Every structure is written in C-alpha cells, then in structure tokens.
Amino acid sequence: MLHTINKSPFASDSLETCRRFLQPGDSVLFIEDGVYAVQAGNKFASLIETIQKNNSVLALHPDLGARGITVVADGVRVVDYEGFVELVEEHQVNSWL
C-alpha cells in the first residue's frame, strides 16, 4: 500500500497517526506541506529513520522545490509526478488527509 501524507508534521498529527498503521513493505510518499517531514536536520529526523527500517520513504520533488528544501534526510527517495504515478501503478493508495 502507498500512504500519502500532505500535511506538515509540525502542524498536524497526520504523520504520527499514519505511522502506527503502516505494514512492513508499505511505502510512504510525502507531498504538499507533508514534505517538511523529510527536510534534513529537523526534529522528525529520528522518526523518519525509524520508519525506514520497514518502509520506503519518498518525497515529491516539485513540492520540495516549491518549499526550498534542498537537502532531505538520509535514505529518502525523491520522485517527480511520473514517479508518483509509478508508485500508484504498484500499490493501492491510502491518502491520509
């Protein structure tokens, strides 16, 4: 399953809530304001590291760029909309709103 998270983890509980429901092998894609979660060096760094033990973590490049995020946490894969579509080809989608 592909989980998308579109809200800033500082403002919303989406990330903290979603992570409890992840199954091993699920992917997590950060989009829109969600991408702030993977900015290198912020207070969610260790949470992102923990999630990566069982899940791949991705972030949408256009949204990172729009927000001036140039460096992402280790191991986070950056994809564009084409990559987003590929993820949707592979998985059913669970958009955490």
Partner 1 sequence: MKIGILLKEGPYNHQASDSAYKFAEAAIKKGHTVDAVFLYNDGVSNVTKLMDPPQDDRNIAARWDALHKQHGVEILACIAASKRRGISDEVLIEGASITGLGTLTDIAIRNDRLITFGD
Partner 2 sequence: MGNIDVGENINIKKIMHVMRHAPHGTIYTYEGLEMILIMAAYEQDLSVAFIGDGVYALKKDQNTAAIGIKGFAKTFMALDGYDVEKLYVDQLSLEERGLTEDDLLVKVEVLGSGEIGKLMNEQDVVIHH
Binding site for a copy of itself (CB under 8 A): 10-13
Interacting partner of 29 out of partner 2, a copy of itself, partner 1, none (Cβ under 5 to 8 A depending on kind)? none
Interacting partner of 74 out of partner 1, partner 2, a copy of itself, none (Cβ under 5 to 8 A depending on kind)? none
In the Cβ-directed half-sphere of 15, how many Cα atoms lie within 13 Å?
Answer: 25
Residues at the interface with partner 2 (CB under 8 A): 1, 6-8, 10-11, 13, 17, 20-23, 26, 32-33, 36, 39-43, 61-63, 65-68, 70, 80, 92-97
Interacting partner of 85 out of partner 2, partner 1, a copy of itself, none (Cβ under 5 to 8 A depending on kind)? partner 1
Q: What is the DSSP string of 44-96?
A: THHHHHHHTTTSEEEEEHHHHHHTT---B-TTPEEE-HHHHHHHHHHS-EEEE
Cβ count within 10 A of residue 9: 22
